[in-house]
Chains A and B, each alone.
Chain A
Amino acid sequence: MAGERIGAWGRGKRPLRINVFDEFRRQYAWQIRELGFMVRLLGRNPSAVAGFAIIAGMVAMALAAPVLAPFNPIQISLGDRLLPPGGAHWFGTDELGRDILTRVMYGARISLWIGVIVVVIAGGLGAVIGAVSGYLGRRFDDLIMRVMDVILSFPPLVLAMALAAALGPSLNNAILAVAFVMIPKFARMVRGEALAVKEKQFIAAARASGAGSLWIVWHHVLPNCLSSVIVLGTLILGETILIAASLSFIGLGAQPPTPEWGAMISVGRKFLMDQWWYATFPGVFILVTVIGFNIFGDALRDVLDPRIRR
């Protein structure tokens, strides 16, 4: 039966049936209460609600693009070149007769995907690096943190550009480049937390019962850093989307005919003086999306930071 399994200790005549959901709720009662409290706090915070609404709208648009979009995003229709907004094309068309509204909607899939995948890669690697570095300490920690300092010695866009150029212009390479640049932000923060967690008694207990360092990092240190990683990830998502769009704009990210916002603006720039709509609409969507992540991230940080919590 869905949601139920045989209890491990139910030996004897009648196997004890335990509802997995109930068990889960009991086991994580404290975390669930905390989460509910956070959601209520966020719900009372107008900018959190606004940011969440923007993000949800963009995600919905990205998911529903194949259903909602009025045209095909890459099919060329030369008869409809550079039509101004109005009629069937609300946002006008581009130099190959493609509907800009359609391309902007599909663009949301790419930009959001880039943002999420970069944060997952950078957050995952950064958290592991930071946790190991902070937990092991000493020489290893020194070495890792000096490496992170070196990465932070470059302006983010400049390093991402150099890396993406060296790897070769493509969307995946741009994702790797941006993720690389973002790793130190996560690593530094998680290292700080790991230093604090390391001193807790349950770590000493784990060590006394013979747990290895890596096991402790994985089972104790990383889970304790998870919520800060999520907050930082949300805060960084906006910046990530901006850097990725900038790379596409200078020709190092998504390549045509991919309907990526930065790449669209890059082509639209050639038509700026006479076909204003081409470069304008993709930019509006970048701006709105990033605003959504920024104000939601700020609110989330405020709510999670007990010093500011009201």
Chain B
Amino acid sequence: MRIVSYVLKRLAYLVPVLLGVTLLVFIISHAIPGDPARMMAGQKASREAVENLRRSMGLDRPLYEQYLRYLAGLVQGDLGFSIRNQRPVLEDMRDFFPATLELTLASMLLCVTVGVPLGILSAVRRNRPIDHLSRIFSVFGVSMPVFWLGLMLLLLFYRHLGWLPGSGRLDIGIDPPAFVTGIYLLDSLLAGSLGTFRNALAHILLPAFCLSYVYLAIITRIVRSSMIAVMGLDFITTARANGIAEIVIISKHCLKNALIPTVTITGLSIGELLGGAILTETIFNWPGMGKYVVDSVNFLDFPAIMGFTLVVSFAYVLINLAVDVVYAFLDPQIRY
């Protein structure tokens, strides 16, 4: 099968890219800041203490040796040691990851359930008021400073209307559901506590919308343009001539073909959402990896920042690979 060889080829190509990613993170974290040992020991430490630390961290060795050591550590899951939390970065990541995953999935869901229908609607009602509205909605989406949108949402829905809570994943006083997936919306349902589910849902609405708006805008535009492209094709005219109902043509014949580029863009935006989570989680006090890294930035906790950067870019690369594979699978015309 050609698709298998394609996947294998992509997997082989993954190795140099991931190595390159680790090298770039290594360069940023080891070569740029003046002195990691001084950073680790704090400004007040004596010169001797810094020297000792430097030796024990292996910072007196040549750079390539340090890099190899760093790689060897990574393979064993050693992302460094967080100065702020005084524990391995990997443990921090494990604790903060589920919250980010929950927020990302919720945003993704919003993107698809709102973006796709909106895109179809504006393609079907092309150049009518609804299309113009959706165009304005999209232009605002791609131009919006995410952090400002978050603040405005808080101002409106939390401060003035009081409809939705403003920070965290649950109200204070409500215990998180028993840990199954770490995703509160799922865990609370599994535990059968509807009250917790409702509370978690109320908490996630604003941050999820805030995070998804940019990609919602992009997905709407992509669905619209690919729908319009497909609707102009001959087989659609044939279907119309055969008297097939418009709704069937749109939902079955057009949409199926128009969804291929949509899958790509949706997959790609999962990776981008991880980046956007930095700002959204900070605004909404969402205890995920994004808020963790901003707190680390304010503390100049370099191991934590670099650990986060590495984890997110690995996820980004892997998701992009998965998207490419799905794409090759969906569209038989595409063979590389």
Contacts and interface: CB of A to CB of B under 8 A. Distances in A.
Tell me the dominant secondary structure on chain A's binding face.
helix
A291 B313 contact: no
A158 B309 contact: yes
Given A158-B312, A246-B146, A166 B302 contact: yes
A246 B145 contact: yes
B21 A153 contact: yes
Interface residues of B, number: 48
B145 A158 contact: no
Contacts of B302: 165-166
A251 interface: yes
Contacts of A156: 275
A279 B159 CA distance: 14
A283 interface: yes
B142 A157 contact: no
B147 A249 contact: yes
B251 to A, nearest CB: 29
B151 A162 contact: no
A149 B25 CA distance: 14
Contacts of A265: 145, 147-148, 151
Contacts of A252: 297
A287 B279 contact: no
Contact of B159 (A153, A158, A273): A273
Contacts of B11: none
Given A165-B297, A246-B145, A154 B151 contact: no
Contacts of B148: 265, 279, 282-283, 286-287
Interface string B153-186: 0110001000000000000000000000000000
Contact of B145 (A159, A166, A273, A286): A286
A287 B214 CA distance: 13
Contacts, number: 135
Contact of B17 (A150, A158, A269): A150
A239 to B, nearest CB: 8
B244 interface: no
A242 interface: yes
Interface stretch (B26-34, B52-60, B194-202, B324-332): B26-34
Given A150-B21, A251-B298, A283-B152, A291 B140 contact: yes
B28 A166 contact: yes
Contacts of A153: 17, 20-21, 313, 316-317
Contact of A158 (B29, B274, B282): B274
Nearest to A238: B143
Contacts of A154: 21, 24, 309, 312-313, 316
Interface string A151-194: 10111111101110111100000000000000000000000000
Nearest to B293: A161
A166 B316 contact: no
Interface string A276-294: 1001101100110011001
A120 B297 CA distance: 28
Contacts of B152: 280, 283
A107 interface: no
Interface residues of A, number: 44
B236 to A, nearest CB: 22
Contacts of B25: 162
Contacts of B282: 250
A245 interface: yes
Interface string A26-39: 00000000000000
B305 interface: yes
A197 interface: no
Nearest to B25: A162
A295 interface: yes
A146 interface: yes
A262 interface: yes
Nearest to B214: A242
B260 interface: no
Contact of B155 (A246, A250, A251, A276): A276
B145 A272 contact: no
Contacts of B143: 238, 242, 287, 290-291, 294
Contacts of A20: none
B137 to A, nearest CB: 12
Interface in B126-144: 139-140, 142-144
A53 interface: no
B297 A147 contact: no
Nearest to B160: A276
Interface in B253-282: 271-272, 274-276, 278-279, 282
17 contacts: A146-B17, A151-B24, A155-B313, A158-B278, A165-B300, A166-B28, A166-B302, A168-B33, A238-B142, A249-B145, A262-B147, A269-B283, A283-B145, A283-B148, A290-B144, A291-B140, A291-B143
Closest 6 A-B residue pairs measured CB to CB? Answer: A155-B275, A283-B148, A150-B20, A290-B143, A166-B32, A162-B309
Given A161-B293, A269-B151, A287-B140, 20 more contacts: A150-B20, A153-B317, A154-B309, A154-B312, A156-B275, A157-B279, A158-B274, A162-B25, A165-B305, A166-B29, A166-B302, A250-B297, A250-B298, A251-B297, A272-B154, A276-B155, A283-B151, A283-B152, A287-B145, A291-B140
